Structure 1
Amino acid sequence: MKLTEFTAGKLPQLIMYDLDGTLVDSVPDLAISIDAMLDDMNLPKAGEDKVRLWVGNGIPSLVKRALVDDMAGDQPGIVNRDVFIKAYDSFKHHYAIEVGQHSHLYPGVKNFLEAMANKGVKQAVVTNKSEIFTEKLLKLMGIDHFFEISLGGDSLDEKKPHPMPLLHAIEQAEASLDTALMIGDSSNDIKAARAAGVKVIALPYGYNHGEPIEASNPDLIVPTMDKLL
């Protein structure tokens, strides 16, 4: 389906995108950094397959899940605070080196971003990734210039699936709920869009904790973003 068919003939004023798993396959960098952190902590390495399941709720959650080798590791009281702080510092050290070094844009992403920019559509990144790493990854992938707004998981008081980041981006872009659109790959993106009251398109190739994105009932699923052109 073409984007204009989905939006009743008129392009959105604002398109908001998730980053990891939507625009960029960044798990290779994350997995290398997590394994280096675990090695520093004298723990067994996790490997890319596990990290792919654990990402999506921000770096603190990813670190906690890796420390206990369990998706529930980020729940209150599971990980000792001092252990977490040491591991988090280690991860940030390694990820600052690895970020963007093994990542790549998904097929169709750059074409779609360019097409929307050429049509005057405002574009924003709304991710749970830490702001400092978000900015660095966007620059390394050569797509930072497409976005007027970039919000990380630590940019505001709340992160997805809370609607605050989406509502903030919409306000900053001087758009409205009925002229804004979210594009993402996980249940967090869909929950945030639903809570904010905006339409949401999902991609099936990203990181959704091993669950099919269909189960989250987005408004539309497309195999790659350029299929909307």
Structure 2
Amino acid sequence: MKLFELLDSPVQLIMYDLDGTLVDSAPDLATALDKMLIELNLPEAGNEKARLWVGNGIPSLVKRALADDMMGDQPGVVEEGIFAKALERFKHHYAIEVGQHSALYPGVFTFLSQIHKAGIRQAVVTNKSEIFTNPLLKRMGIDHFFELSVGGDSLNEQKPHPLPLQHTMKHFDCNTQNSLMIGDSSNDVKAARAADVKVVGLPYGYNHGEPIESAHPDLVIDSLTDLL
């Protein structure tokens, strides 16, 4: 496997981002956002805007939709009372929509299966809320590949903070020399750098409209199967 050329030590753990890395989940998120916005008598956002706003967790996504602006999650932009109501309505709709319109990216199932057969441990480290992470993995038919999933609200910090990666490595008794992060956004690269972990970037995800190359991961690949 080309995977083994990335690290000085044999790979024992791979940590994956979820949205935009393993699963194209933007259609579900966009549908839930638009239903929320309609209830609040606001213009629908649509799929393309949802793709730009994904990546920093559901609270940021909702605030960006309310403001119709990428900077909507900054302090003071969205009134807290409106946000609280909107967040509740989004969660209601997303609980129904999660996994309904999503799809695995090409090569994902093959790669996860091969890594599983090779005995390498696998974990999801996402900024997605924990209550939606496992249902999405299950509906995509890939939950059995992962021994651990860490959501954006599982710990006191989320990516780009290194804590989720550090927590995951500790869980598996692995270290920075035998662990790898794979993701599609600058948050994944920043978290990996802060945790001193090698990181592979994928160009097809939701990096707020910016090419993943601009985040300077250790390697950029077109598909996970390029590592086989």
Contact 1:3 1:11 (8 Å CA) reproduced: no
AA matched with 1:67: L
* 1:163 corresponds to 2:149: no
1:67 is matched with: 66
What pairs up with 1:80-229 in 2 under 5 angstroms? 80-229=79-228
Segments of 5+ residues of structure 1 without an aligned counterpart are: none
Tell me, in whole angstroms, the C-alpha distance in 2 between the residues paired with 1:110 and 1:2: 17
Tell me, in whole angstroms, the C-alpha distance in 1 between the residues paired with 2:211 and 2:136: 26
Contact 1:11 1:121 (8 Å CA) reproduced: no
Tell me, in whole angstroms, the C-alpha distance in 2 between the residues paired with 1:32 and 1:170: 35
Tell me, in whole angstroms, the C-alpha distance in 1 between the residues paired with 2:123 and 2:64: 28
RMSD, aligned CA? 0.9
Contact 2:137 2:143 (8 Å CA) reproduced: yes
AA matched with 2:187: N
1:17 is matched with: 16
Deviation at 1:2, TM superposition (A): 1.5
Deviations 1:93-131 (A, max 9, x none): 110110000000001111111111111100000000000
AA matched with 2:165: L
Tell me, in whole angstroms, the C-alpha distance in 2 between the residues paired with 1:76 and 1:20: 25
Tell me, in whole angstroms, the C-alpha distance in 1 between the residues paired with 2:90 and 2:6: 41
Tell me, in whole angstroms, the C-alpha distance in 1 between the residues paired with 2:200 and 2:125: 14
Deviation at 1:91, TM superposition (A): 0.3
Tell me, in whole angstroms, the C-alpha distance in 2 between the residues paired with 1:189 and 1:31: 22
AA matched with 2:100: Q
> For 2:199, what is the secondary structure of its paired residue?
strand
Tell me, in whole angstroms, the C-alpha distance in 2 between the residues paired with 1:125 and 1:220: 19
What TM-score does the superposition give when structure 1 sets the normalisation length? Answer: 0.98
Deviation at 1:4, TM superposition (A): 1.7
> For 2:144, what is the secondary structure of its paired residue?
helix
Tell me, in whole angstroms, the C-alpha distance in 2 between the residues paired with 1:78 and 1:65: 9
Deviation at 1:6, TM superposition (A): 2.1
Aligned residues: 228
2:5 is matched with: 5
Contact 2:7 2:198 (8 Å CA) reproduced: no
> For 2:124, what is the secondary structure of its paired residue?
strand
Segments of 5+ residues of structure 2 without an aligned counterpart are: none
Tell me, in whole angstroms, the C-alpha distance in 2 between the residues paired with 1:15 and 1:96: 28
Percent of residue pairs identical: 67
Deviation at 1:177, TM superposition (A): 0.8
AA matched with 2:212: I
Contact 1:29 1:98 (8 Å CA) reproduced: yes
Moved over 4 A (4+): none
Deviation at 1:7, TM superposition (A): 2.6
What TM-score does the superposition give when structure 2 sets the normalisation length? Answer: 0.98
